[in-house]
Amino acid sequence: MILNDIADGLLRGVENIGQSVSGAFSEPVIRLGVTGLSRAGKTVFITSLVANLMDRGRMPQLAAAATGAIRAAYLQPQPDDTVPRFDYETHLAAITGDTPHWPESTRAVSELRLSLKVQGGGLLGSVSGPRVVHLDIVDYPGEWLLDLGLMEKSYDDWSADVLDRIASRPQAVDFLALARATDPGAKLDEVQAQTLARVFTAYLGAARDGGYSDCTPGRFLLPGDLAGSPVLTFAPLPMAEGAGRGGLRREFARRYEAYKRQVVRPFFRDHFARIDRQVVLVDALGAIHSGPQAVEDLRRAMADILGAFRPGRNAWLAPLLRGRRVDHILFAATKADHLHHSQHARLTAIMQALVRDAKDRADYAGAKTMAMSIAALRATVEETLTHDGRSLDCVRGTLLDTGKQAALYPGALPDDPARILSPARSGQQGWLGDDYNIMHFAPARLTLKPGEGPPHIRLDRAAEFLIGDRLR
Ligand code: GDP
């Protein structure tokens, strides 16, 4: 481990020298990380952001777009040859085609380079002519950040934590029964190991579908090209007296360590450590719809995820970062088009409260942070209906499962975020007296005018916060 650290340090040192030397002559690069838990909206966000940076007619709040400072935007080959390219064209075709549909979600890390030709303002800008700024967008699952929590945890501690946390979850019944029936000291049997890993993965999938966010190890659900490999073939098991060498539990502990060393660590070193700006997307509405427990679980997962942005706290991570840090972090509640705009401020307040602790610490560490409600792709229109003599602010769209048009009144979010977060913290089963509805809308069919990207809510403000200062 220590040897690894030194080798990493040396390598990064060389890399940094390379970067600063070439940086003096070459074009500036912004590395924008886009993360969030599964289904938070990363793929749709990146697709719409890139489309709206290429055709900037709907980006008035991005100053460099409004003033015309961005002269052109074009896609270029990315700098990292071994990272899959974000499949922008396919995803854009999905949402802008004749039968629009949602694109396939993020399953692993991917990257895209958008280059912007920018004419700076003032005397200097007019003398020096346009310059090129590269925006390297790095898309990666938030679940992988949750793995940071494993780095300083032994297999024994991790197993005990997980078994304790899932003890009362209905989704875990099968796995718990299997774990109980397993002799941790028995000789390793690969078929048995695979069965345990498979049933544990099935539990993680069911827990995630049930609205839980604490579904680590992150690669079990999003294995990328590691599916079926021994680093993903383990599961938590209870402590066993005198479990000897070669026993199942010992082997699981070894694989757990291999997972940390060969999967988690390279991700943080090769991808995370190089990010300058970060957007964390959060499906807060989805969690509210699922109920107080899902909200509490989301709050905890966010705290864990955001721990990665506090370099000082992670003795393990700090050497990999070598003084670099993310200096702008945006927390965005996605899919705000499920709400009438009169409720957006409340959603933002809930978002703010959800990440409050973590945000305060990031602020303290010097990063600029902001919370916002956005919709990367607006799938609805607003409508006010009268019901029982009361006027209701609704949204209307095409339902995903039936293809029919419907108006939705999602329920009124409270003014005070504590009315959501307190019941969540105290473990309440359901919302008392309140009901929050969600319908799944299909993307609307678009007729875009020349120069216009897909419709969105506040994507331009998000872009201004994330990269605006680098485009002046
Ligand atoms: P990822 O797993 O983070 O890549 O999530 P996706 O970008 O694939 O989004 C997951 C799902 O959320 C999509 O299939 C849509 O159903 C929904 N979604 C994402 N963004 C929006 C949005 O801006 N508006 C609406 N109405 N739904 C969205």
Mutational pocket test of ligand 1: of 49, 138, 279, 335, the residue with most ligand atoms within 8 Å of the beta carbon: 335
Is the CB of residue 375 less than 8 Å from the CB of residue 456? yes
Instruction: For residue 467, give its domain range.
Output: 25-140+275-378+447-471
List the structure tokens of 325. 């840090």
Residue 174: inside a domain? yes
Give residues with Cβ within 8 angstroms of 6, minimum separation 6.
none
How does pLDDT run across 310-351, given as a tens digit for each residue?
766 677 888 888 878 888 999 999 999 999 999 999 999 999
Residue 83: inside a domain? yes
Cα of 41 vs centre of ligand 1, distance in Å, is 4
How does pLDDT run across 155-203, given as a tens digit for each residue?
999 999 999 999 999 999 999 999 999 998 888 899 999 999 999 999 9
Q: Whose CA is nearest to atom 24 of ligand 1?
A: 335
Q: Whose CA is nearest to atom 25 of ligand 1?
A: 335
Residue 16: inside a domain? no
- Which atom of ligand 1 is least distant from the CA of 400? 16
Give the per-residue pLDDT at 422. 92
| pTM assigned to the model | 0.89
How does pLDDT run across 55-89, given as a tens digit for each residue?
999 999 999 999 999 999 999 998 899 899 999 99
Query: Residue 254 pLDDT more than 80?
Result: yes
Number of H helices, E strands in the chain: 20, 10
Is the CB of residue 377 less than 8 Å from the CB of residue 443? yes
Give the per-residue pLDDT at 7. 47
Is the CB of residue 165 less than 8 Å from the CB of residue 212? no
Q: Are residues 210 and 293 in the same domain?
A: no
List the structure tokens of 293. 């427990």
Cα of 43 vs centre of ligand 1, distance in Å, is 7
Q: Are residues 358 and 458 in the same domain?
A: yes
- Which atom of ligand 1 is least distant from the CA of 440? 16
Q: Are residues 208 and 347 in the same domain?
A: no
- Alpha carbon 287 to its chain centroid, in Å, reads 14
- What is the DSSP-derived secondary structure letter of residue 260? I
Mutational pocket test of ligand 1: of 39, 222, 377, 396, the residue with most ligand atoms within 8 Å of the beta carbon: 39
Residue 165: inside a domain? yes
Cα of 428 vs centre of ligand 1, distance in Å, is 28
How does pLDDT run across 155-168, given as a tens digit for each residue?
999 999 999 999 99
Q: Are residues 262 and 279 in the same domain?
A: no
Is the CB of residue 185 less than 8 Å from the CB of residue 251? no
Is the CB of residue 345 less than 8 Å from the CB of residue 303? no
Give the per-residue pLDDT at 361. 67
Q: Whose CA is nearest to atom 16 of ligand 1?
A: 102
Which residue, 216, 241, 266, sits at the end of a domain? 266
d(CA 246, CA 253): 11
List the structure tokens of 109. 């890390």
Cα of 332 vs centre of ligand 1, distance in Å, is 13
Q: Are residues 332 and 454 in the same domain?
A: yes
Q: What is the average pLDDT value for the chain, to the nearest integer?
A: 88
Residue 18: inside a domain? no
Query: Residue 127 pLDDT more than 70?
Result: yes
Q: Mapping DSSP to helix (H, G, I), strand (E, B) and coil, where does residue 294 land?
A: helix
Q: Are residues 190 and 131 in the same domain?
A: no
> Distance from first CA to last CA of the chain, Å, rounded?
43
How long, in residues, is the chain? 472
Report the CATH number at residue 331: 3.40.50
Query: Residue 25 pLDDT more than 80?
Result: no
Q: Are residues 252 and 158 in the same domain?
A: yes
Q: How confident is the model at residue 205 (pLDDT cuts 50, 70, 90)?
A: very high
Give ligand 1 pocket residues (Cβ under 6 A): 36, 38-44, 102, 105-106, 334-335, 337-338, 375-377, 379, 440-441
Give the per-residue pLDDT at 246. 67
Q: How confident is the model at residue 363 (pLDDT cuts 50, 70, 90)?
A: low
d(CA 107, CA 227): 12
Give the per-residue pLDDT at 102. 97
Q: Whose CA is nearest to atom 6 of ligand 1?
A: 41
Q: Are residues 134 and 191 in the same domain?
A: no
d(CA 47, CA 71): 20
Residue 71 sits at φ, ψ, to 5 deg, of -85, -35
- Which atom of ligand 1 is least distant from the CA of 377? 23
- What is the DSSP-derived secondary structure letter of residue 84? P
Is the CB of residue 457 less than 8 Å from the CB of residue 332? no
Cα of 382 vs centre of ligand 1, distance in Å, is 19
Give the per-residue pLDDT at 467. 98
List the structure tokens of 310. 């506090």
Which residue, 236, 266, 296, sits at the end of a domain? 266
Query: Residue 22 pLDDT more than 50?
Result: no
Structurally, the chain folds into a number of domains equal to 2
Write out the E strands in 317-359: 328-333
Residue 188: inside a domain? yes
Q: Whose CA is nearest to atom 14 of ligand 1?
A: 102
How does pLDDT run across 308-321, given as a tens digit for each residue?
887 666 778 888 88
Cα of 307 vs centre of ligand 1, distance in Å, is 25
Is the CB of residue 371 less than 8 Å from the CB of residue 352? yes
Q: Are residues 91 and 228 in the same domain?
A: no
Query: Residue 14 pLDDT more than 70?
Result: no
